[in-house]
Amino acid sequence: MIPESIARASLSEIEEAIKPAGLQRAKARAIKELANLILEEFNGDMRKLLEMGEEKVRECLSKIPGIGHKTIDVLLANWGYPVLPVDTHIRRISKRMGLASSGGYVGIRESLHKYFRPSRRLEAHLLLIKLGRTICKSQNPRCDLCPLRRFCKYAQDRYIAVG
């Protein structure tokens, strides 16, 4: 079983396995603690944790150092919970478009929840990341190619006279 294998592995083995993702030292500790939590409190079955409900999952996972809002939201969203995780691309796009203010992670997520139906939030998350990586880049955004430019305050104010 995967949690058992991770719990038995040394931190250096986990670090080596996740090295391509970066920040391997901090992430390895969090991964090992999560594996131990799943073994000890859920008999090795991650599904038991995820079926406890959104707030209980948040409460349980947020106790582990290195696991924050985004990691929890990605897990919840991929398990079918109606959550829109916010990464750096989504934060930038939501601010540029005027969908969210300059608030923190939770404020931006809650603002975006007002715009996207629960059943479409994971899809919105994935599409917004793609938009941020390809068109709405941090430096030199390609507003001229953006399919959302007509709705974007950034594009209207700085680049394109949208008619």
Distance of CA 66 to the CA centre of its chain: 14
**CATH architecture for residues 88-158:** Orthogonal Bundle (1.10)
In whole angstroms, give the CA distance from residue 159 to residue 163: 13
Question: DSSP readout, 102-146?
Answer: S--HHHHHHHHHHHS-GGGHHHHHHHHHHHHHHTS-SSS--GGG-
pLDDT digits (tens, 9 = 90+) for 127-152: 999 999 999 999 999 999 999 999 99
pLDDT at 76: 96
The answer to whether the beta carbons of residues 105 and 84 sit under 8 Å apart is no
At 51, the pLDDT band (50, 70, 90 cuts) reads very high
pLDDT at 101: 84
- Closest alpha carbon to 57 in 42, 44, 72, 77: 72
What average pLDDT score do residues 47-76 get? Answer: 94
pLDDT at 159: 64
In whole angstroms, give the CA distance from residue 154 to residue 117: 24
Instruction: Parse the chain into domains and list their residue ranges.
Output: 2-67, 88-158
